[in-house]
Amino acid sequence: MAAMMRTGYWKKLKTALLATVCTLSLLALAGYWYADGFRLDEQPLADPASRSTDLAFVRPGVGESRGRILAVLTSTATIGASGKKAGFELTELSRAYYVFVANGFEVDIASPLGGKPPMRLDDELVAADYAFLNDAQAVAKLDRSVPLAQVDPSRYAAVYFVGGKGAMFDFPGHREIQRIVGAVHDGGGVVGAVCHGPAALLEVRLGSGRRLIEGKRMTGFSNDEELFLLKDARRLFPFLLQDRIAGHGARYVEGPIYLDNTVVDGRLVTGQNPWSTWSVAESMVAAMGHAPVPRERTSEEVGVRLLNIYYRDGRDAADRAKAHGAQADRRILLMHALVAAMQYRWSDAFHIQRLARP
């Protein structure tokens, strides 16, 4: 009897295992068919050998020197004592760097401590990012960033604060940052910052004694964006940027998570996240009184714009924009579909993945 029971058990087990294997095989086949339907191989990634001479908007330039812009990076490599990596984001430097260069500005790089700041690389880089890494002059500036204490603000038409989580630790209340920003702004210059970069502006006071950001419309990395990536962000950071901006009297302007949202208020230009970098840099050029040189939008930017249309105007408007616009980066659309699913926004996840279909 026991032997018969064991025989029956193994038969059932083998049948169940076979059914499981078949089910998993079918799911894998369906998953492959589904993923293959997006034809991601039709959109190759950027060439790691890209150089600045390959950037069409940089080559012609404006043919004149319009002054200098100071780009400021964090010197902080980790998030407090957690051991998690911080540093600055390459994409928030490289893309702005070439916009400034193309529009006739020399770019200097500085950091609180000087020397080589800790860098963070995104998973997907575009040609401008690789071009920066392959640009010997740009890399030399980065490796020998100027200590903020040695910066003469009178030399600059604008100052631009690059984001990265390290900025939350060494930018706020930094005496030299307050000196530089106050001098540039009081001298008629433009102040810009992206993602966590606006942390530099929180404690800046102008010659009048008033906070720079008080009463201003501005943005920065949102609470939703921070807490989506780091559930324990309130414990890891000294504060959340959105909370502190609003708490210091500014009018925080929030856009959809991980999409371009750039806010201009006079000579103050701020961007919500890394996908705002291009528009922050070009808005800074415009705030300095120049029309930015024409530039073909990257497929990533086209995707971000399509998503902004979806959230602002609805799926029908997004479908029309997709049909009549340039080709969007399907990877970024799929990433946002995944984000929506992880937030249980099933309708958004479904419609966004549809936008990624060829």
Q: What is the average pLDDT across 296-308?
A: 96
Residue 324 has pLDDT above 80, yes or no: yes
Q: How far apart are CA 28 and CA 22, in angstroms?
A: 10
Assess whether pLDDT exceeds 50 at residue 204.
Answer: yes
Q: Check: CB of residue 115 under 8 Å from CB of residue 90.
A: no
Give the span between the Cα atoms of 293 and 99, in whole angstroms: 8
Q: Cα–Cα distance between 333 and 331 in angstroms, integer?
A: 5
Mean pLDDT of 61-78: 93
Q: How many H helices and E strands in the chain?
A: 14, 11
Residues 211-240 as b or e (16 or more Cβ within 10 Å = b): bbbeebebbbbbbebbeeebeebeebbeeb
Looking at residue 306, what is its pLDDT? 96
Q: pTM of the prediction? A: 0.89
Q: What is the pLDDT of residue 124?
A: 84
pLDDT at 302: 96
pLDDT band at 183 (very low <50, low <70, confident <90, very high): very high
Q: Which residues of 39-58 are buried (b: 16+ CB within 10 A; e: fewer)?
A: ebeeeeebeeebebebbebb
Q: What is the pLDDT of residue 32?
A: 42
Domain boundaries, the chain: 52-287, 297-355
Averaged over 90-101, what is the pLDDT?
Answer: 98
Mean pLDDT of 194-212: 94
What pLDDT is recorded for position 30? Answer: 40
Q: Residue 3's pLDDT is what?
A: 44
Q: Which two tokens stand for residue 149?
A: 């204490």
Mean pLDDT value across the chain: 90
Alpha carbon dihedral 343, 347, 349, 350, in 10-degree steps, equals 160
d(CA 101, CA 146): 19
How many C-beta atoms surround the C-beta of residue 294 within 10 A? Answer: 9
pLDDT tens sequence across 128-169: 999 999 999 999 999 999 999 999 999 999 999 999 999 999
Mean pLDDT, residues 204-230 taken together: 94
pLDDT tens for 339-356 read: 999 999 999 999 999 999
> What is the tens place of the pLDDT at every residue in 18-64?
555 444 444 343 444 455 578 888 888 899 999 999 999 998 878 88
**How many of the other CB atoms lie within 10 Å of CB of 299?**
18
pLDDT grade for 208, boundaries at 50, 70 and 90: confident
Is the predicted pLDDT of residue 321 greater than 60, yes or no? yes
Structure tokens at 136: 């010997």
How far is Cα 74 from Cα 96, in angstroms, rounded to an integer?
A: 16
pLDDT band at residue 334 using 50, 70 and 90 as cut-offs: very high
Distance, in Å, from the CA atom of 106 to the CA atom of 126, rounded to the nearest integer, reads 22
The highest-level CATH class for domain 52-287 is alpha beta
Half-sphere exposure of 158 (CA within 13 A, CB side): 32
Q: What is the pLDDT of residue 240?
A: 98
Pairwise CA distance, residues 105 & 98, whole Å:
9
pLDDT surpassing 50 at residue 177: yes
